[in-house]
Chain A
C-alpha cells in the first residue's frame, strides 16, 4: 500500500517539479530584481549571524578562541532548523491551503507535502550554498566533510516530512493541532542546542536536551560546518529511527484518512 503512494507520487513527478518551480518563481514575480531576491535575502541573514553575532558581539564557543566559529555554529544550526521548521509548518497547513483543489480535482494528494518538501529544500540549498561561499572566502571551508551533509539532511527532511504530514492530517479535522504544534516548535527550538552549545547547560537540563532527537542532528550539522570531522554516526541512530517512525506513521494515517480529508474540507 505504501508502494501505491510512492507510485502515485512518481507518476506525478512532472507536476511536482512544475509546482516547485512555479512557487519559487511566483515569489519573485513582478519584482525588478527577480530571482536576485532569492540570494539577497539569505545573504543578509547569513551576514547578520556571521558578522554581527560573531564579530561585533564577540560571542564565542566555550574553549574556542576564534570568534568566527560561533558564527559558523549559529548558521549551521539556524539554517537547518529553518529547513526543518519550514517543512513541518508548511506541511501542517498544506491540506487546508489547497482545500479547494482537493475538493474539486482528482490528483494524488500526496504531491502537496512533497511540493512543500522540495520547495523548502530549494530555499535551503540556496542559503546553504551562500553560507559555504562565505566560509570559502574567509578560509573556513569544511572540505570533504560536507559529504556527510547528505545523509544527515535526509534524516532531517524525513523527520520533518513525517511530522508535518502527521500533524497536517490531524489539522484538517482538529485545527488545534496546527496551533499547538506552532507553540511546540518554539519550545523545541530552545530545547535544542542551536544558539547555545550543549556544554553550557547544567547536567539535569543537558540530560533532557540530549534525549531530543534534534540535538544529535544539529550536533552533526554543526560538526560538519565547523569542519571538525565526521559526525558521530552512532548518535544519529535515534533521530533516524524517529524519522522512520514518524514517516511510517504519517503515511499510514494519510492512507487511512485521505478519503475523509476530501469529505471534511
Chain B
C-alpha cells in the first residue's frame, strides 16, 4: 500500500547568527563559508501514515509539532529529509487566514479559496455547498465584520473542507462555533476519514487521542520520542509531564502483556497489583454486581516519613471511572522503614459496565501528586468487567435498578 503521508529523516534547523553583521558577511562574501550555527528544532523524524488512518501528534509546547505540520503543509521547507504526500493536504489550523473584515462572506470565500489553491470555476461550483454547510443565512452576503466569531469560524471551516483532502490536519482543540456546528463539523471529518482521508490530529488531550486515533507519535525537544498505540504513547506523555527529564520513566510489558509506564523516584515501588473476586480467587475479570477486592502490594526501599497509595480506574478510552487514595479513605501510612512491604486492599462492588479497564497506581508522599512521587504506574493492571447474571445494559455504570410497572389510569370500557 502506498503511504498517505511518509516522513523520512526529516530535520529542520533555523540559522542562528551571532549578529546581523555576520549574516550580511555570509551573504556577500563569496568564500567566507557559513557563519551561523544551526539550531535544530526537528531531527530524525521518521513515520508514515496509511490512507484512512488517524495519527495523533502529541508533545509539549515547543516540542516541534507546529514546525512539523508546517513542513507537511508545505509552508516551510525542511532542512533535511523529505515528506511525501499521497494527495492534497488541508489544515484546519489557521482557519480564517486571509479573511478580510470589510468584505462579504461570499467575497472572502472566493479570495481565500484562491489562496488555498482552488480555481475560480471550482470555487463557483463549490460556493452553494459552502453557503449551505456554513448555515449563516443572509449573513453570507454581509461584511465579515458584522459576524460573530463563531460565524466566521463556520464559514472558514466550510471553505477549508469544501473538497475532501487526502490528508487533513486537525487541531483537537478546534472549536468551530456552537455545539451544534461542532457536531456537524466532526461528522464531516468522520465522513472524510471513512472515504479514505488521513487525519493528523494535534492534541494535548488524552481522551480525544485515544478515542480518535489509531496511532500516536510523541515529539519531545524536536525528536520523535515514542510512536505506537495511542494508550501507550499517552501514558508515556503523562509520565513525561511529571518528570520532564524522563530519568525514571520506564515502559515495559507487564504480566498481562500490556505496556505499562512507570515513573517516579523509586523510593517506594509496587510489587504487585491483583484483583480477586468474591470467592477470593485472583482473576483478571470481575462480574458486574459482584464484590471484588483490589490488592496493591508495595515496598519502601528507604525510610520514608509518609506514603499515600492512590488508585485510578480508567476505561478503554482513558475516561476516569473512579479514583481515590489511602489518605482520603482515612488510612494514614507513616514512618515506613526501609525494606517493609505492605498490602493495601480496596473492596468494592463491581458496578462498572461491561468492558476492559486499567488501574493506575500512585505512591506519593502526600495527598498531592505533585509533592513527591515515589512511583507512578500507568496500566499496573488491566481487568475486565463481564456481565454474567444481569440484564444486558449499555453505559459504563451498573446502577442496580429496581423496575416495576403500575397502571395509573385506563380509558372507559377497558377492563383490566
Which A residues are closer than 8 A to B by beta carbons?
12, 14-15, 18-19, 22, 25-26, 29-30, 100-101, 103-107, 173-174, 259-260, 262-263
Contact partners of A260 in chain B: CB under 8 A: 15
* Chain-A contact segment, one of B102-110, B193-201, B218-226, B270-278: B102-110
State in angstroms the CA–CA spacing of A259 and B13 once bound together. Answer: 12
- If A15-B114, A22-B107, A174-B20 touch, does A105 touch B97 (CB 8 Å cutoff)? yes
Contact B100 A26 (CB under 8 A): yes
Is B111 within 8 A of A263, CB to CB? no
> Is B94 in contact with A104, judged by CB distance below 8 angstroms?
yes
Are B76 and A259 interface neighbours, CB within 8 A?
yes
Given contacts A12-B114, A18-B110, A263-B76, contact A105 B102 (CB under 8 A): no
Asked whether B74 lies within 8 Å of A106 as measured between CB atoms, the reply is: yes
Q: Are B114 and A105 in contact (CB under 8 A)?
A: no
The 7 A-B pairs with the shortest beta carbon distances in the complex, nearest first, are: A15-B114, A259-B77, A106-B74, A104-B94, A106-B75, A14-B120, A29-B102
Are A18's CB and B77's CB within 8 A?
A: no
Task: Say whether B339 faces chain A, with CB atoms less than 8 Å apart.
Answer: no
Q: A104 — which chain B residues lie within 8 A by C-beta?
A: 70, 75, 93-94, 97
Task: Report yes or no: B76 in contact with A107, Cβ–Cβ below 8 A.
Answer: no
Q: How far is the CB of B220 from chain A (nearest CB, A)?
A: 22
Contacts known (A174-B24, A259-B77); A22 close to B111, Cβ less than 8 A: yes
| Shortest Cβ distance from A253 into B: residue | B27
Please state if B103 and A22 are interface contacts (CB–CB under 8 Å): yes
Contact B102 A30 (CB under 8 A): yes
Closest residue on chain B to residue A101 by CB atoms: B98
| Residues of A contacting B115 in the complex (Cβ-Cβ under 8 angstroms) | 15, 101, 105, 107
Known: A104-B97, A262-B76, A263-B76. A18 touches B114 (CB 8 A): yes
Q: Kindly state whether residue B401 has any CB partner on chain A within 8 Å.
A: no
Extra A-B contacts (19), CB below 8 Å, given A22-B100, A22-B107, A107-B116 = A14-B119, A14-B120, A15-B111, A18-B111, A22-B103, A26-B100, A100-B97, A101-B115, A103-B75, A104-B75, A104-B94, A104-B97, A105-B94, A105-B97, A105-B115, A173-B20, A259-B76, A262-B75, A262-B77
Can you show 14 pairs from A to B with CB atoms below 8 A apart? Answer: A14-B120, A25-B103, A26-B103, A30-B102, A104-B94, A104-B97, A105-B75, A105-B116, A106-B74, A173-B20, A174-B20, A174-B23, A262-B76, A263-B14
Least CB distance from A140 to B in Å reads 40
- B342 nearest CB across to chain A (Å): 55
Residue B282 CB within 8 A of the other chain: no
Contact of B102 among A14, A26, A262 (CB under 8 A): A26
Q: Which of B107-134 contact A (CB under 8 A)?
A: 107, 110-111, 114-117, 119-120
B366 at the interface (CB under 8 A from A): no
Q: Once the chains bind, are A107 and B107 in contact (CB under 8 Å)?
A: no
The answer to whether B97 touches A101 (Cβ under 8 A) is yes
Whether A105 contacts B98 by the Cβ 8 Å rule is: yes
The reply to whether the CB of B73 lies closer than 8 angstroms to some CB of chain A is yes
Q: How many angstroms from the CA of A115 to the CA of B142 in the assembled complex?
A: 25
Residues of B within 8 A of A29 (CB): 102
Chain A residues near B119 (CB, 8 Å)?
14
Q: Which residues of B contact A174 (CB under 8 A)?
A: 20, 23-24
Residues of A within 8 A of B93 (CB): 104
* Chain B residues with CB below 8 A from A103, complex form: 75
In the bound complex, what is the Cα–Cα distance between A221 and B110 (angstroms)?
38
Nearest-CB residue, chain B, relative to A108: B117
B302 to chain A, nearest CB (A): 50
- Near A by CB (< 8 A), chain B positions 147-172 give none
User: CB-CB < 8 A to A259: which residues of B?
Assistant: 76-77
A123 to B226, CA, bound (A): 57
Residues of B within 8 A of A107 (CB): 115-117
Complex Cα distance A29/B104, Å? 12
Q: Mark B243-284, 1 if CB is under 8 A from A, else 0.
A: 000000000000000000000000000000000000000000
Q: Are A106 and B73 in contact (CB under 8 A)?
A: yes
Q: Which residue of A lies closest to B24 (CB)?
A: A174
Q: Which residues of chain B are within 8 angstroms of A15 by Cβ–Cβ distance?
A: 111, 114-115
Q: Once the chains are docked, how many angstroms separate the CA of A101 from the CA of B94? A: 10
Tell me how far the C-beta of A79 lies from the nearest C-beta in chain B, rounded to whole angstroms. Answer: 28
Alpha-carbon distance A12/B102, docked complex (angstroms)? 23
Q: Does B114 contact A14, Cβ atoms closer than 8 Å?
A: yes
Q: Which residues of A contact B100 (CB under 8 A)?
A: 22, 26
Tell me which of B76, B94, B111, B114 has the highest count of chain A C-beta atoms within 10 A of its own C-beta: B114
B261 to chain A, nearest CB (A): 35
Q: Give Cα distance in the complex from A29 to B117, angstroms.
A: 27
How distant is B47 from chain A, measured CB to nearest CB, in Å? 21
Closest A residue to B110 using CB positions: A18
With both beta carbons as reference points, the residue of chain A lying nearest to B98 in the complex is identified as A101
Residue of A nearest to B27 (CB): A173
Please give, as numbers and ranges, the residues of chain B lying within 8 Å of A26 by CB-CB distance.
100, 102-103
Q: Output the least CB separation between A104 and chain B (Å).
A: 4
With both beta carbons as reference points, the residue of chain A lying nearest to B103 in the complex is identified as A22
B15 engages A263 (CB within 8 Å): yes
Give the distance in Å from the alpha carbon of A260 to the alpha carbon of B94 in the complex.
21
Is the pair A19, B73 in contact by a Cβ cutoff of 8 Å? no
Q: How far is the CA of A106 from the CA of B70 in the complex (A)?
A: 9
Q: Which B residues touch A14, using CB under 8 A?
A: 114, 119-120
User: What is the distance, in angstroms, from B162's C-beta to the closest C-beta of chain A?
Assistant: 16
Q: How far is the CB of B257 from chain A (nearest CB, A)?
A: 44
C-alpha gap A263/B103 in the complex (Å): 30
**Given A15-B111, A260-B15, CB of A173 within 8 Å of CB of B76:** no
**Complex: A173 Cα to B36 Cα, angstroms:** 14
A147 to B271, CA, bound (A): 94
**From residue A239, how far is it (CB to closest CB) to chain B in Å?**
26
Chain B 196-228 interface residues, beta-carbon cutoff 8 Å to A: none
Collect the chain A residues with CB atoms within 8 Å of residue B77's CB.
Answer: 259, 262
